[in-house]
Structure formats: structure tokens, C-alpha cells
Amino acid sequence: MERTDQDTDAIRSLRMRDVSALFESSTFPLTTETVLEEFGNVEIEYPRGSEPLRAILERSGHETYESQNILELAILNGVRRDAVGRPRYSDRGDERNETLDRPIQSF
């Protein structure tokens, strides 16, 4: 879901899962500088907070993104830990540990 600034119709915030829609009409390659000029005011929302797109991309350094997938990967790699849930948590169920011959449970 996106929220827009009613005065400028500019996107002000965007949920993490909707990031790909932000760049659908962009022409690649794009530099970090170009992305920030156009989308630097976007706030990426996480389940427990948010962060400016500018901060995320500045952490990854100044690059040229050859495709939308590469840019999205840079954003996913640059988000804070709290954007992706609990560290080392998996909801995929129990796995067997062959060396201990017992299930490993995720909590």
C-alpha cells in the first residue's frame, strides 16, 4: 500500500513487499544518484518501523544498477535487520539433523 502526498502526488511511503512496483516504469541502467533524485523521498515501511530509501541505498554505496532486479536486490541487502523479522527464525517446520538424528525445531 502506498501513501501519497496530496499536494504533490509524490509517493511518501511504500511497504517493503511493494518495492518492485516503484521501479516498473524506470529505464535501466540507473545510478544510485539518479534513483535518489527521483525516489529519494520514499519511505520504506517495515512491519515494525520504516526507513528512507535514501538511507538504504547510501549504505550499499554508489553503484550503477543494470536491471530492476539488481536494484531491488541492493535494497533488500541494505535494509535493517528489523525489516526481515527475527534473526535465524524459520517457519518451515522441523528439520532433521543427521549428525544428532533428532529434529531441529525453530522457535
Lowest-pLDDT range, 15-24, 58-67, 79-88, 95-104? 95-104
Mean pLDDT over all residues of the chain?
Answer: 76
Strands (E), the chain: 2-4, 11-15, 30-31, 43-46, 49-52, 64-65, 95-97, 102-104
pLDDT of residue 96: 53
What's the whole-model pTM score?
0.66
Q: How confident is the model at residue 17 (pLDDT cuts 50, 70, 90)?
A: confident
Task: Tell me the sheet residues that pair with 4.
Answer: 11
pLDDT of residue 4: 45
Query: Residue 96 in contact with residue 104, Cβ under 8 Å?
Result: yes
